Structure 1
């Protein structure tokens, strides 16, 4: 089973690489505004998770520069996700707004938030 998951993960990553969407082109001033909106966002993810790929593709299409954190291989990010987010489930978007930190799970909810609030 582990071999099948590994193989499927590699296929997902290969297809994602081959069919990478193009980013939206913005004027430099507008892109800087978008970058300011995304500076306090980070996406906790597993590299080959299909739902994480879905979110990353949406980020790419919308030209969003959001830090991605590998919660599978990086013990510190995994621990942060568990302790602060409450569970190790990806994708998860960490949203910092002043002193408030919100953890948003579910790929469709993350994409909706990004398209509504940021893009």
Structure 2
């Protein structure tokens, strides 16, 4: 079973590489404003997780670069996710708003949030 997941994960990454979405074009001021918004966002993810790929593709579409943390291979990131969010489940978007952390777990909700904030 693990072999199948590894192979499928690599296929997903290859297809994502081949069919990478184009990012939105913004004015320089609008892009600077978007870049400031992402300072408070962190995405905890696994590289080959299909739901994480879905979220990363939306990040690419919105032309934003947020901090990505690999909760599979980085033990510190994994512990941060478990301590802060309460469970090790990816993708998880950590939103820090005025010093208060909110942990968003569902890829559909994360994509909707990104579209609302950056579209």
| Counterpart for residue 8 of structure 1 | 8
Flag as ranges the 4+ runs of structure 1 deviating above 2 A. Answer: none
How many matched pairs? 119
**TM-score scaled by length of structure 2:** 0.97
- Structure 1 residue runs without a partner (length 5+): none
| Counterpart for residue 110 of structure 2 | 110
Counterparts of 1:66-81 in structure 2 under 5 Å? Answer: 66-81=66-81
1:2 is displaced (CA, Å) by 1.2
Note the alpha carbon deviations across 1:22-62, whole angstroms, 9 max, x for none.
11111111100001111110100000000000000011001
| Counterpart for residue 31 of structure 1 | 31
- Structure 2 residue runs without a partner (length 5+): none
**Distance in 2, Cα, partners of 1:41 & 1:49:** 19
**TM-score scaled by length of structure 1:** 0.97
**Distance in 1, Cα, partners of 2:20 & 2:68:** 17
1:118 is displaced (CA, Å) by 3.3
Residue pair 2:62, 2:118 contacting (<8 A) in 1 also: no
SS at match of 1:42: strand
| Counterpart for residue 88 of structure 1 | 88
| Counterpart for residue 59 of structure 2 | 59
**Distance in 2, Cα, partners of 1:71 & 1:13:** 17
